[in-house]
Every structure is written in C-alpha cells, then in structure tokens.
Amino acid sequence: MSPADYLELRQLGLDGVASHAMNAVSILFAYLLAMYFAGKRLTTFQLVSVTIIYSIFLLFPVLATTGGLLSLVAINTEFLREYSGLAATHRAPEAVATLNVIRIVMLGVFFFAYVLSILFMLSVRRDKHDVPYDT
C-alpha cells in the first residue's frame, strides 16, 4: 500500500472508533434517562428486561470501539514497518503506544459508566414507594 492509503485507513479507523464510542454513550444516556423518568414505575420484570437489553446493546459498540483501536494499532505498526521515515513524521510510533493506552482507558471508563448506571437504576428503584402510580 502507498503512504496515502495508510493515512486514509488511519483516518477512517479513527472515524469508526469515534462513531462506535458515541453510539455507546448514546445507549448509556438513553438508559439513564429511561431510568430517571420511568424507573420508579416499571415492574421488576420490565426493569430486568430493559437492563438485560441495555447490557447487550451496550456491549456491541464498546467491543467495536476497542476492536477499532486494535485495528488502528495494527495499521500504524504496519505503516511504521513499511515507511519508517515517513511514519515518524506522522507520529505512528507515538500513535501505537497512545492507542494501546486509550483502549485500556476506554474499557475502564465504559465499565465504570456501566456500573454507575446500574447503581443509578438501583437508587431510583429504592425510592419507588415514594411515587404515586397515577401521575
């Protein structure tokens, strides 16, 4: 591949990673809003069902995000091997190390956000008896 192909692949990979990460954030906030507005009125069965669906649908963009970052590491490594002089000017060596750190940090952040969202749901449910059902 030419250097331009590598650079285009890098940009497409970054765009994909950003898109998947934003999908994960959208799913997270949709769940938080649903729990905030309707969590107290849901039955236990409905709540468990929504939480299972949320957990499954959140998993896919998180895995796609980390997979995209791994692909970017491979692209940058190959670019560095093929065009070492040019790759250095485009920060490929730094990108490999940075992307590995970002991947680990993003996994941690998504896991932490998931745990907090479940804790938020439980806190909303704890106050369930305080809300009238006819509103």
pLDDT value of position 3: 87
pLDDT value of position 131: 53
Q: Which two tokens stand for residue 44?
A: 């236990």
pLDDT value of position 126: 83
Which pTM does this prediction carry? Answer: 0.83
Burial 72-93 (b: 16+ CB within 10 A, else e): bbebbbebbeebeeebeebebe
- Mean pLDDT in each 10-residue stretch from start to end of the chain (135 residues)? 89 95 97 94 93 96 95 89 81 79 92 96 79 52
CA nearest to 65, candidates 34, 91, 33, 28 = 28
Q: Which two tokens stand for residue 50?
A: 């929504």
Give residue for tokens 């895995």: 63
Identify residue 113 by its one-letter amino acid code.
Answer: A
